[in-house]
Chain A
Amino acid sequence: MTGERPVWEEERELKVRAAVDTDPRFGMRPEDRPLQEHLRLGVVNLDKPPNPSSHQVAAWVKRILGASHVGHGGTLEAAEPGRPDGHRGAACSA
Chain B
Amino acid sequence: MVTGVLPVALEDATKAVQVFLYSGKEYVCLMQLHGDVDDLDVKSILEEFTGEILQRPPLRASVRRDLRKRTIYRISLLEKDGRRVLFRVACQAGTYIRKLCSDVGEALGCGAHMRELRRTRAGPFTEDEHIFTLQQLQEARRLHVEEGCEGPLREAVRPVEEIFKHIPKIYIRDSAVDAVCHGARLAVPGVVKVETGISRLGPAAIFTLKGEVVALARSELSTQEIMEAEKGIAARPVRVIMRPGTYPRRWGGVQEQI
Contact = CB atoms under 8 A, between A and B. Distances in A.
A48 to B, nearest CB: 4
B14 A69 contact: yes
B9 A73 contact: yes
A58 B212 CA distance: 25
Contacts of B24: 6-8
A21 to B, nearest CB: 7
A91 B114 CA distance: 8
Contact of B2 (A38, A48, A70): A48
A47 to B, nearest CB: 5
Contacts of B124: 8
B107 interface: no
Interface residues of B, number: 96
Contact of B50 (A3, A27, A31): A3
Given A1-B47, A6-B90, A46-B137, A76 B4 contact: yes
B51 interface: yes
Contact of B8 (A3, A22, A58): A58
B36 interface: no
A47 B168 contact: no
Given A3-B52, A7-B23, A80-B2, A71 B62 contact: no
Contacts, number: 273
B125 interface: yes
Given A2-B74, A18-B192, A43-B160, A50 B14 contact: no
A47 B226 CA distance: 40
A94 B154 CA distance: 36
A47 B50 contact: no
Q: Which bucket holds chain A's interface residue count? A: 35 or more
A73 B227 CA distance: 33
A48 B209 contact: no
B173 interface: yes
A44 B223 CA distance: 31
Interface string B59-70: 011100000000
Given A8-B123, A72-B7, A73-B122, A46 B115 contact: no
Interface of B: 1-14, 16-17, 19-21, 23-25, 47, 50-52, 58, 60-62, 71-74, 90, 93, 96, 98, 113, 115-117, 119, 121-125, 127-128, 130-134, 137-138, 141, 144, 150, 153-154, 156-163, 165-166, 168, 173-174, 177, 191-197, 208-212, 223, 226-227, 241, 246-248, 258
Interface of A: 1-8, 10, 12-18, 20-23, 25-31, 33, 35, 38-50, 54, 57-58, 60-62, 64-65, 67-80, 82-83, 90-94
7 contacts: A2-B74, A17-B192, A23-B174, A38-B154, A41-B11, A46-B131, A68-B11
Given A42-B159, A45-B7, 10 more contacts: A3-B50, A3-B73, A17-B227, A35-B144, A41-B12, A47-B5, A48-B119, A57-B134, A73-B163, A79-B96
